[in-house]
Structure 1
Amino acid sequence: MIDLLSEIDSPQDLKKLSTEQLYDLTQEVRNKIILTLSKTGGHLASSIGAVELIIALHSILDSPDDKIIWDVGHQTYAHKILTGRADEFTTLRQLDGISGFPKSKENIHDHLDVGHSSTSISAALGMACARDIKGNDETVVAVIGDGALTAGMAFEALNHAGDLGKDLIVVLNDNEMSIAKNVGAVSNYLDKLRTNPRIHKAKQDVEDLLHKIPSLGDKLLKTAGAMKDALKYLVVSGVLFEEFGFTYLGPIDGHDLKSIQSHIEDAQNVGGPVLIHALTTKGKGYLPAEENPSQFHGVGPFNIRTGKGKRNREHPTYTNIFSQTLVELAEEDEDIVAITAAMPSGTGLTEFADRFPDRFYDVGIAEQHAVTLGAGLALNSTKPFVTLYSTFLQRGYDQVLHDVCLQQASVKFAIDRAGLVGRDGGTHQGVFDYAYLRHLPNMTVMAPKDENELQDMVLTAANYEAGPISVRYPRGESFGVELTENQMLEIGKAEVLKEGEDGVVLAIGSMVYPALEVAQQLAREEGLDLTVVNSRFVKPLDQDLILELAVEFDTLFTVEEHVLQGGFGSAVAELLADHNQQLNLKRFGLPDKFIEHGTQAELLARYGLDVPTIKAEIKAVLQEG
């Protein structure tokens, strides 16, 4: 078999291939993705499900002059391979390698940095508007998944695009899933379209029939608008999109290259906003992924033959501990409710959903709605846990402010994947939540040092009624400490783990144990004796303890897995300034930049949050003082 992929340096090379060769290329690309991800991990099922779609787009369009805007980016690995990154593909999501998402600084064929869902149509419409202002003629295409179409932002963009009437192609990559099975009216509507693949032809047949009726037929089509609308609602599969002002083409087989190519050409010729509805299979071509697309959405290294992961965990993840704790509390407290945004598995709510289906809500990719739904529940005397990744809670910021904090609604925010999340990179690092939460009135912000304390914080949140409260916890494996009976924590009260005479380390969350290890090593190696505090609360701070320590010591260190601007260290600095405390304050945290992809350990070391670096800097400060 000819190695076609080795001859592809850019999308233009696809135009030299026959249809048969393009089909051969789809298998080569799919195999390369599977082989690479078995070693690196990544977003497998969505990417191998979109291979034909991507090859068809690039074989017809002239990228980078024509612009393809991807939504989320989970499905873009074939795009990366075909746009000059095939040789680099083995570095996918590795430190200093290529990103797992489209990234404009990485390649001229990536026109928008993405990672969060439902942004593609808005950005593509903006680019189409700019094209028309400049008098250019390039084709602009947004590729969006059916899961991303559950978000309100996508509908705002569809509404505006239909109103403007700009030449814009939207390709709906419909594989019936985002990460978990889609929910809601939009998902149900698309289900109906999938089960009626010939319904678009029915529309044309009816119109053709009316045209053939002498005199009367044309009059019906031109003047009997109500009748035509009635017929359309009866037979037109894409009525929803047509009401937005789009020409609807489909549903089509998203693995049929010739069909996709012809529909792209049709969309270019029709003009105005056009939506191509392509049905694809998530995990296409790799049986384990086809059978378990949710399991193979995001994977670590795995055995290709069996599909089983190669990583064995020694301890449960923080997500597991949260899940277990919430289920146990919900068994005793019928007011506890759980909410997630299309991530029941990722946020650990699958068991909760199975056990308490009447108290579980998956709202789809709609974080704003999730937050305000939680507010409504809380204001009517229930205990909602809004459970989201840190990076996705950002999308509901105004709702946290206006609908929760302003109302003093007792919503409980379980913030998963907080801190450095690793190989998903800048769009997913959960390093801003202290800053965007702690400045909001009425909000309480907690972070546990380990899984046992996470249990205590979930219990504390469940019983806190004075307003909103959040607990943020990291991605990955817990420390493996012994789990004891849950205890309520006193709000705003820190914990002194070690007493010393040479300085104070105030640590929070995931950085408490590293800080304790630093102190122990400095005591053994240098004779330096540090006090170490598990701060527990970013808001409210344990003011009495911090001010007492500020009087007792000349040097104070803060350590957090969060950006320094507006974070825990900033809160401590503000407290000291407000009370005119003059002392040497050194803050350890992340710099004012978007943190790239790499393992969590690699990134902690690169940005000075590993034990050796913290130890060296504390030693230097204390010895200089």
Structure 2
Amino acid sequence: MSLLSTVRNPHDLKKLTAEDLPALAAEIRDFLIHAVARTGGHLGPNLGAVELTLAIHRVFDSPHDRILWDTGHQSYVHKILTGRADDFVNLRQRGGLSGYPSQAESPHDIIENSHASTALSYADGLARAYALRGESRSVVAVVGDGALTGGMCWEAMNNIAAADRPVIIIVNDNGRSYAPTIGGLADHLASLRLAPEYEQVLDVVKQVLGRTPLVGPPLYDALHGIKRGIKDVIQPQGMFEDLGLKYVGPVDGHDVHALETALRRARDFGGPVIVHCVTRKGFGYPAAEQDDADCFHAVGVIDPSTGKPTAAGGGTSWTSVFADEIVQIGHERPDVVTLTAAMLQPVGLKKFASTFPDRVFDVGIAEQHAVTSAAGLALGGIKPVVCVYATFLNRAFDQVLMDVALHRLPVTFVLDRAGVTGEDGPSHNGMWDMSFLQLVPGLSLAAPRDATTLRAQLREAVAITDGPSVVRFSKGKINADIPAIDRVGTVDVIYRSPEVTPTREVLLVAVGAMAATCLQVAERVASHGIGITVVDPRWVKPLDPVLVDLARAHSLVVTVEDNGRVGGVGSTLAQLLRDADVDVPLRDFGIPQTFLDQGKRDQVMADIGLSAQELARRIVELAASRAPALTTGEAEEETPAGQR
């Protein structure tokens, strides 16, 4: 019987001897490699956190003691040790195990944390709550994969250090986020990792103290002063203790005994402590350790024996089209620079960084700083292009509004993974950006439908000089090019049914990547003898007023977008029609305002009524009925989720 099969909860783990742990760690790594190879997921971060997670669950009593993971993608081993090993067969699949902590899965999962740098603030609040309630519980926050580059961590530490509450901050320091961690903090932690002399000298101090009888305050203070001096000279890590945090480390993050010793010291201290653990991302799997890009941070389905993808490439991706075009723009415009928040490779900036190494800035997991730094670059006469996932721009809304738009600065934002992203679950769907960006005065927002329009609209966005601009695109394989058959104003006409029946004609407004689906919808609708025109507005903020004229010439307007319906393009067009006293019925189809379950993108789109078949069925029914209930906002109860 394997050791792993005997561990169904943390109490079982505590029954094992120290001699059992190396073998258990090896079994867990083998399990992770084969499990993640089947479904894809975050492999490198979890391979590096095996011994650390074992030590945490042997020292602390979860769920009585609260263990928070930041970022949550390093929690796979935690899931295994808390009874969910059998569920890995459906990792990140529809109805299966989440790739992040999930309250619905286990009482051991406290926060569903997949946006980084937040756990210390949760920990501060939890510790305050337990103090107020008179409960004795440790609060443990595991901070890794570059999360300490986020400003929220430092805001939280400032408060944690000011109070004498038992918060243990474990820094899982692998020197990386997706790629090597950037910035002064990273350099500082590296200096700690690379100074083994410190621990050797501390061992001497401990031995001296141990041999000295009746150590009184003067001698102790002198020795403590020597210790602090050694730290400052050999390991310049005084910032943690200057904040008021007791510092323990650096500790070998792959030595369970050393980790347990350090964590017990931290637990027994009774106040705020930071435990600095040095780990290696991808540890124990040669394919991951030798991957210079990101140590297998996240993988698709792979061959576990080689680490190679098992499926052929899925065609050209939206990201790769952007990656090539921004390099071309860089050649043409020496004033163009790019910024990202610890996501250089995922957002397609690797080629730009290789070509123009002095013109790319990775600020770490600090989206707010990235946006305002870009504002400063624009004030200085440079053209900044900020590249992040659509979901992560949520974190910097105030900076977009007040630091960029208020000053009418020409900052361009490129939002990858817009719309439904699928397997990463509710936190990663880019379904909010077109709604909250509609609020920003003077901002222009492009939603390209294919590779050609992506290239063209990226160039148009970069050329804007009187305010911010946004280009947003989807995840995965890009659509085949959809040529325009006509242009009205700035709006592209991409389909007209062969035989138009004016009294039953539909204007279908296809937003961005939904254009390909809308062409399928149009063919289905036209096959029922219903005249239909499909247009792509290209720029969805501001909407071209010619859409009002087009709407006036049709009997029904339908909008389809991969964004939340509240405040989306459909809502904006409806307001535009009302303001122009155009009473043509409008129905808007988009993402319902709910947190979507994980699953393949096509599955999720079908679930929310955005498949071609379901959209065509609804439009045929609406066009056939042309009832008064077609007006926006009515007949809500009869419509599926995501539709109105």
- Write out aligned runs for 1:178-577 (5 A): 178-203=177-202, 205=204, 219=218, 222=221, 232-236=231-235, 238-292=237-291, 294=294, 296-481=296-481, 493-499=490-496, 500=500, 501=502, 502-524=505-527, 526-543=528-545, 545-577=546-578
Query: Superposition RMSD on alpha carbons, in Å?
Result: 2.5
Q: What secondary structure, in the 3-state scheme, does the structure 2 residue paired with 1:457 have?
A: helix
- State the Cα distance separating 1:115 from its structure 2 match: 0.3
In structure 2, do the counterparts of structure 1 residues 181 and 449 end up closer, same or farther at CA, with 3 Å as the change threshold?
A: same
- State the Cα distance separating 1:61 from its structure 2 match: 1.4
CA distance in 2, matches of 1:581, 1:321: 39
Q: What secondary structure, in the 3-state scheme, does the structure 1 residue paired with 2:73 have?
A: coil
Q: What secondary structure, in the 3-state scheme, does the structure 1 residue paired with 2:326 have?
A: helix
Q: Deviations over 1:91-126 (max 9, x none)?
A: 110011111000112211000111011111111111
Matched, 1:154 2:153: yes
CA distance in 2, matches of 1:282, 1:100: 17
CA distance in 1, matches of 2:74, 2:37: 16
- State the Cα distance separating 1:337 from its structure 2 match: 0.7
- State the Cα distance separating 1:287 from its structure 2 match: 0.7
CA distance in 2, matches of 1:449, 1:222: 69
Cross-structure match for 1:619: 620
CA distance in 2, matches of 1:49, 1:345: 20
- State the Cα distance separating 1:22 from its structure 2 match: 2.5
Stretch of structure 1 that moved more, 532-541 or 196-205: 196-205
- State the Cα distance separating 1:191 from its structure 2 match: 0.7
Conserved 8 A contact 2:408-2:466: yes
- State the Cα distance separating 1:313 from its structure 2 match: 2.7
Letter in 2 for 1:527: G
Letter in 2 for 1:48: L
CA distance in 2, matches of 1:202, 1:510: 61
Q: Deviations over 1:438-463 (max 9, x none)?
A: 11101111100111100001111121
Stretch of structure 1 that moved more, 16-25 or 196-205: 196-205
Please list every run of 5 or more consecutive structure 2 residues that lacks an aligned counterpart in the other structure. Answer: 627-644
Conserved 8 A contact 1:220-1:228: no
- State the Cα distance separating 1:583 from its structure 2 match: 2.3
- State the Cα distance separating 1:269 from its structure 2 match: 1.2
Letter in 1 for 2:83: G
Q: What secondary structure, in the 3-state scheme, does the structure 2 residue paired with 1:365 have?
A: coil
Matched, 1:589 2:590: yes
Cross-structure match for 1:487: none
CA distance in 2, matches of 1:228, 1:176: 26
Conserved 8 A contact 1:504-1:532: yes
CA distance in 2, matches of 1:302, 1:508: 34
Q: Deviations over 1:574-594 (max 9, x none)?
A: 111222222221111011101
Matched, 1:126 2:129: no
Q: What secondary structure, in the 3-state scheme, does the structure 2 residue paired with 1:354 have?
A: helix
- State the Cα distance separating 1:264 from its structure 2 match: 1.3
- State the Cα distance separating 1:498 from its structure 2 match: 2.1
CA distance in 2, matches of 1:557, 1:512: 13
Q: What secondary structure, in the 3-state scheme, does the structure 1 residue paired with 2:72 have?
A: coil
In structure 2, do the counterparts of structure 1 residues 13 and 229 end up closer, same or farther at CA, with 3 Å as the change threshold?
A: closer
CA distance in 1, matches of 2:402, 2:463: 23
Letter in 1 for 2:300: G
Q: Deviations over 1:310-357 (max 9, x none)?
A: 232353111111111010111111111111111111111111111111
Cross-structure match for 2:114: 115
Stretch of structure 1 that moved more, 225-234 or 154-163: 225-234
In structure 2, do the counterparts of structure 1 residues 160 and 6 end up closer, same or farther at CA, with 3 Å as the change threshold?
A: same
Identity of aligned residues (%): 40
Cross-structure match for 1:34: 33
Q: Deviations over 1:340-397 (max 9, x none)?
A: 1111111111111111112111111111111011111112222110011111111111
In structure 2, do the counterparts of structure 1 residues 169 and 607 end up closer, same or farther at CA, with 3 Å as the change threshold?
A: same
CA distance in 2, matches of 1:363, 1:86: 36
CA distance in 1, matches of 2:146, 2:415: 22
- State the Cα distance separating 1:206 from its structure 2 match: 5.7
- State the Cα distance separating 1:142 from its structure 2 match: 0.3
- State the Cα distance separating 1:247 from its structure 2 match: 1.1
CA distance in 2, matches of 1:326, 1:550: 36
Letter in 1 for 2:530: L
CA distance in 2, matches of 1:350, 1:481: 25
- State the Cα distance separating 1:519 from its structure 2 match: 0.5
- State the Cα distance separating 1:213 from its structure 2 match: 11
- State the Cα distance separating 1:536 from its structure 2 match: 1.0
CA distance in 1, matches of 2:231, 2:5: 48
In structure 2, do the counterparts of structure 1 residues 491 and 172 end up closer, same or farther at CA, with 3 Å as the change threshold?
A: farther
- State the Cα distance separating 1:229 from its structure 2 match: 6.0
Stretch of structure 1 that moved more, 467-476 or 25-34: 25-34
Conserved 8 A contact 2:119-2:141: yes
Q: What secondary structure, in the 3-state scheme, does the structure 2 residue paired with 1:481 have?
A: coil
Q: What secondary structure, in the 3-state scheme, does the structure 2 residue paired with 1:562 have?
A: strand
- State the Cα distance separating 1:28 from its structure 2 match: 1.8
Conserved 8 A contact 1:336-1:359: yes
CA distance in 1, matches of 2:297, 2:145: 15
Q: Deviations over 1:507-542 (max 9, x none)?
A: 110111111111012223x12220101111221101
Q: What secondary structure, in the 3-state scheme, does the structure 2 residue paired with 1:164 have?
A: coil
Letter in 1 for 2:361: Y
CA distance in 2, matches of 1:228, 1:92: 47
Q: Deviations over 1:55-87 (max 9, x none)?
A: 111122111111100001121111111112111
CA distance in 2, matches of 1:399, 1:15: 47
In structure 2, do the counterparts of structure 1 residues 408 and 106 end up closer, same or farther at CA, with 3 Å as the change threshold?
A: same
CA distance in 1, matches of 2:483, 2:462: 19
